[in-house]
């Protein structure tokens, strides 16, 4: 089963302000991705090798709505909150992970509309997780939908991506069950760290 990095989730409390700050920091203006049911919207930046960065926040077209996804309900500062790995057979990947001792959760369908009205549909795994930052990735299967990284979005290079955890061995277990290879470093709290090569030099998101 081939598992690849699909995208990193950079959650921001104010989407328009977060995108503007990212553009200033990196010299690259993210592309509008679209709105999701549930009150979120996103912007995208390619990371190379079929991966991308999703900047997600409350949908500006729905003022007053504080969505719960990725901790946005209580978020006060931009945070690299989650990440996804891609598979072409989500049922088989979930089954293999469970056999290896880790349950990725239920498989659920999601969708969003792009600014031009195109409907994108995919399936992903979801499990109850109160953590502010999720060091174990969720699984995504785009099916027949064109991958967002193939849509000509602005791009940067991902220099490195690291999982940080007070107990690296415990963080490593679910990753091994999923067949995911990523560096895990010891740190004071669970977190994610991405280093981007940008026109403004290297930028670290965490």
Sheet hosting strand 157-165, strand order edge to edge: 184-186, 157-165, 191-198, 201-205
Which tokens go with 167?
């107990």
Has this prediction a pTM greater than 0.85? yes
**How far is the C-alpha of 14 from the C-alpha of 78, rounded, in Å?**
9
DSSP structure class, residue 144: T
Q: Which CATH architecture has domain 4-155?
A: Roll (3.10)
Give the separation between CA 25 and CA 195, rounded to whole angstroms.
13
Query: Are the beta carbons of 163 and 185 closer than 8 angstroms?
Result: yes
CA-to-CA distance for 191 and 146, rounded, in angstroms? 30
**Each residue's pLDDT expressed in tens, for the chain with a length of 206 residues:** 579 999 999 999 999 999 999 999 999 999 999 988 889 999 999 999 999 999 999 998 887 777 888 888 889 999 999 999 999 999 999 999 999 999 999 999 999 888 888 889 999 999 887 677 999 999 999 999 999 998 889 999 999 999 999 999 999 999 999 999 999 999 999 999 999 999 999 999 99
pLDDT at 153 (0 to 100): 95
CB atoms under 10 Å from CB of 14, counted, come to 14
8 C-beta neighbours (distance < 10 Å), count = 24
Can you name the residues that pair with 162 across neighbouring β-strands? 193
Residue 17 near residue 26, CB atoms below 8 Å: no
Phi, then psi, of 61 in degrees rounded to 5: -80, -5
Give the whole-angstrom CA distance, residue 68 versus residue 40. Answer: 9
| DSSP state, residue 60 | T
Q: pLDDT at position 130, please?
A: 67
Dist CA 39 CA 150 (whole Å): 25
All structural domains of the chain with their residue ranges: 4-155
């Amino acid at each position: 089963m081939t598992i690849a990095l699909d995208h990193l989730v950079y959650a921001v409390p104010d989407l328009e302000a977060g995108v503007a700050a990212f553009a200033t920091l990196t010299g690259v203006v993210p592309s509008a991705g679209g709105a999701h049911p549930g009150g979120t919207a996103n912007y995208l930046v390619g990371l190379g090798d079929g991966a991308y960065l999703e900047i997600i926040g409350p949908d500006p077209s729905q003022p007053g709505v504080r969505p719960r996804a990725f901790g946005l309900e209580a978020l006060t500062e931009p945070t690299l909150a989650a990440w996804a790995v891609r598979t072409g057979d989500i049922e088989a990947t979930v089954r293999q992970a469970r056999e290896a001792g880790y349950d990725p959760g239920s498989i659920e369908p999601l969708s969003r509309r792009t600014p031009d009205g195109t409907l994108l549909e995919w399936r992903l795994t979801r499990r109850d997780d109160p953590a502010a930052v999720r060091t174990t990735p969720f699984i995504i299967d785009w099916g027949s939908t064109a991958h967002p990284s193939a849509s000509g979005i602005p791009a940067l290079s991902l220099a490195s991506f690291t999982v940080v955890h007070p107990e690296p061995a415990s963080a490593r277990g679910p990753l091994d069950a999923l067949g995911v290879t990523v560096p895990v470093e010891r740190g004071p709290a669970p977190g994610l760290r991405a280093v981007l090569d940008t026109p403004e030099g290297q930028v670290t998101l965490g």
